[in-house]
């Protein structure tokens, strides 16, 4: 939960000043630094970035009455649905964050070795 909140809050702050792709090194570093296992790291990265992008895209879509998102959705195979584009945005952001966090968790395991399993 700490990793998820850290990713969510820091990604929101970082994306105010830096490009969208900066979430990948952020998720990588936080997952490696906080030492989350692979599955939890992917889930935290996916949920943290996906939720942040979902909220931002939904706010922008609602604020502009869906005009821009409708036009962009017409270019993609989304049937012109602006809300489908909002969900696709959240999915892409979630995958970027999840894969980057998973890579960070695996990099930590490669350097430090696997975590000890309880009961062995």
Q: How confident is the model at residue 106 (pLDDT cuts 50, 70, 90)?
A: very high
pLDDT for 14-67, tens place per residue?
999 999 999 999 999 999 999 888 889 999 999 999 999 999 999 998 998 888
Give Cα 111 to chain centroid, integer Å: 24
Compute the C-alpha angle 24/27/32, nearest 5°.
Answer: 125
Residue 75: what pLDDT?
84
pTM: 0.85
């Amino acid at each position: 939960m700490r990793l998820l909140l850290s990713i969510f809050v820091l990604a929101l702050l970082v994306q105010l000043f830096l490009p969208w792709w900066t979430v990948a090194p952020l998720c990588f570093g936080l997952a490696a630094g906080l030492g989350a296992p692979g599955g939890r790291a992917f889930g935290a990265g996916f949920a943290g970035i996906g939720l942040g992008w979902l909220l931002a895209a939904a706010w922008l879509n609602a604020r502009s009455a869906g005009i821009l998102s409708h036009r962009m959705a017409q270019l993609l195979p989304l049937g012109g649905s602006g809300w489908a584009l909002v969900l696709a945005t959240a999915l892409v952001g979630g995958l970027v964050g999840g894969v980057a966090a998973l890579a960070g968790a695996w990099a930590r395991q490669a350097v430090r070795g696997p975590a000890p399993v309880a009961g062995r």
